[in-house]
Amino acid sequence: MNSEAGSTVPAIMLEGVTLRRNGHVVLDRVDFSIRQGEFIGVLGPNGAGKSTLFRAILGLLPEVTGNIQVFGARPRKADRLIGYLPQMRADLLDADIRAWDFVASAQHPSRWGLPIYRGADKREIDEAICLVEGEHLAQRPLSALSGGERQRLLLAQALLGNPRLLLLDEPLVSLDPRHQANVVALIKGIQKRRSVTVLFTSHEINPLLGALDRVLYLGGGQAAIGAVNDIVTGPVLSRLYGMPIEVVHTAGHYFVVSAESGVAAESGAHHVCL
Partner 1 sequence: MFAYDFMRTAFLAGLIVSIVVGPIGYFMVLRREIFAGHALSHIGFAGATGAILFGLNPIWGLLTLTVTGGVVMGRLGDRVRQRDVAIGIVLALSLGLGTLFLHFYTSYARQGTALLFGNVLGITPEALVILAVLGALSLIALGVIARPLLAVSLDPDMAESKGVSPALMAMLFLAIVAVAVAEAVQVVGILLLLSLLIAPPAAAARLTCRIWFAVLLSIPLALLVTWGGITAAYLTDWPVSFWISALAALLYLISRLLPSFLLDGARKAA
Ligand X SMILES: Nc1ncnc2c1ncn2[C@@H]1O[C@H](COP(=O)(O)OP(=O)(O)O)[C@@H](O)[C@H]1O
The residues that touch ligand X, with contacts defined as CB under 6 A, are 21-22, 26, 44, 46-52
Query: What one-character DSSP code corresponds to residue 242?
Result: T
Residues across the chain: 274
Q: Which of residues 29 and 122 has its CB atom nearest to ligand X in the complex?
A: 29
Q: Under the phi-then-psi rule, with left for phi > 0, alpha for psi from -120 to 50, and beta for the rest, what region is 99?
A: alpha
Instruction: Choose from ligand X, partner 1, Mg ion, none: what does 105 bind? Cβ within 5-8 Å by kind.
Output: partner 1
List CB contacts of 65: < 8 A, sequence separation 6 or more: 16, 17, 18
Question: Which residues lie near partner 1 (CB under 8 A)?
Answer: 58, 60, 76, 79, 82, 84-87, 92-93, 95-98, 101-102, 105-106, 108-115, 139-144, 154, 157-158
Interaction partner, residue 79 (partner 1, Mg ion, ligand X, none; CB < 5-8 Å by kind): partner 1
Q: How many other C-beta atoms lie within 10 A of the C-beta of residue 37?
A: 16
Q: Which is nearer to partner 1, 7 or 110 (CB)?
A: 110
54 or 100: whose CB is closer to ligand X?
A: 54
Shortest Cβ 105–partner 1 spacing (Å): 5
d(CA 89, CA 136): 23
174 binds Mg ion (CB under 5 A): no
Q: Which does 48 bind (CB under 5 to 8 A by kind): partner 1, ligand X, Mg ion, none?
A: ligand X
Are the C-beta atoms of residues 259 and 244 closer than 8 Å to each other?
yes
Query: With contact defined as beta carbons under 8 Å apart, do 131 and 159 qualify?
Result: yes
Between 18 and 51, name the residue whose CB sits nearer to Mg ion.
51
Residue 108 site contact among partner 1, ligand X, Mg ion, none (CB < 5 to 8 Å, cut-off depends on kind): partner 1
Inter-residue contact 42 to 30 (CB < 8 Å): no
